[in-house]
Structure 1
Amino acid sequence: MVPEYQGEPEEISKEKAKLAAQRINGPILIEDTSLCFNALHGLPGPYIKWFLDKLGYDGLNKLLIGYDDKTAYAQCVFAFCAGPTSEPIIFDGRCSGRIVQARGPNKFGWDPVFQPDNEQGQQGHQTFAEMDKTEKNRISHRSRSLQLVKNYFV
């Protein structure tokens, strides 16, 4: 286990990858996920887990109550570090959408309050929680980041 670093998602991922590569004395691939509200300039970002734990779904919505802009993006950053002395390579995948009232099953983190845009970039109609797993995995921030990882190694 590595410590929870603070900072921007890319910085956090780089530090986690460096430390993990040093600990295992070899190559490592780490992942960090964020939910970023555009009206709040990217917050809660990598701290979404803590915000959700303390505020719940209603509290996340209340953070945006004074803003017209409810847009957000889900971000997944993978960092690959080839070894303990290597500089990590960042793979940043994002999925645009908006923050909505919680809908759908509460199976995974903030999925009920994030409604991703469709593949044409237009406002979607379902939250991640309401989507079939296959569809979610096809359009998600994580799948986009993993595609960048695959492209790097091919």
Structure 2
Amino acid sequence: MVEDVSLCFNALGGMPGPYIKWFLKSIGPAGLHKMLHGFEDKSAYAQCIFGYSSGEEGSTIHIFDGRCSGRIVEPRGSTEFGWDPIFEPEGYDKTYAEMEPALKNSISHRSKAIAALRKFLDQS
């Protein structure tokens, strides 16, 4: 099993996407927010993809995609976890960083991908 996480800005055609780790390391959360300065569209989505295979030779690789739509905002909340301070999920007035962990984990891109993976494993 492998996992990858992306943060995709719609105004930038999905960038930084899977390169978010390196963008974050280079410019930090505030810099990520500033990337959209000249754009009216601040919408984005967080994405988690799991790839799963039984490991047997020739086995099928199954892909599980979890997404959470939202928007990019000025950093708010704890800076302990990556880009959480700039991502505000759709329907909420708090960033991931401002949310209680239980709420964040229940709506996150990762939880959606895990739910799809679990459903597949339960049916297998």
| Alignment match, 1:117 | 90
Query: Identity, % of aligned pairs?
Result: 55
SS at match of 1:32: strand
**Structure 1, gaps ≥5 residues long:** 1-28, 119-123
Deviation, 1:86, is 2.4
Deviation, 1:152, is 0.3
* 1:91 equivalenced with 2:59 (yes/no): no
TM-score (norm 1): 0.76
| Alignment match, 1:17 | none
* 1:47 equivalenced with 2:15 (yes/no): no
| Alignment match, 1:70 | 42
Give the number of aligned pairs.
121
The structure 1 segments of at least 4 consecutive aligned residues displaced by more than 6 Å after TM superposition are: none
* 1:35 equivalenced with 2:7 (yes/no): yes
* 1:151 equivalenced with 2:119 (yes/no): yes
- Report the residue type matching 1:125 in the other structure: D
SS at match of 1:108: coil
**Structure 2, gaps ≥5 residues long:** none
How far apart, CA to CA, are the structure 2 residues paired with 1:105 and 1:59?
A: 16
Aligned-residue Cα RMSD (Å) equals 0.9
How far apart, CA to CA, are the structure 1 residues paired with 2:19 and 2:5?
A: 9
